[in-house]
Amino acid sequence: MLHLKNQSFQTLIDENRQQILGNKEEIEQIYKRLDQKAMLNDKRDANSPARN
């Protein structure tokens, strides 16, 4: 019985680990998109007539 409980906890842990890794990838993608948008905004600001 204890072995079954440990096994189901291990399964939950493994599932959570996979979910966390997926979330981590998603967050990294969001940061990359934000960085790209920030770079675009910086370029726009540099080219803006108000700056020159």
pTM across the whole model: 0.66
16-50 pLDDT, tens digit per residue, is: 999 999 999 999 999 999 999 999 998 888 887 76
pLDDT at 1 over 80: no
- For the chain, the DSSP string reads -HHHHHHHHHHHHHHHHHHHHHHHHHHHHHHHHHHHHHHHHHHHHHHSTTT-
CA distances in angstroms from 36 to 20, 32, 41, 47, listed in the order given:
24, 6, 9, 17
List all residues 6 or more positions away from 51 whose beta carbon is below 8 Å from its beta carbon: 45
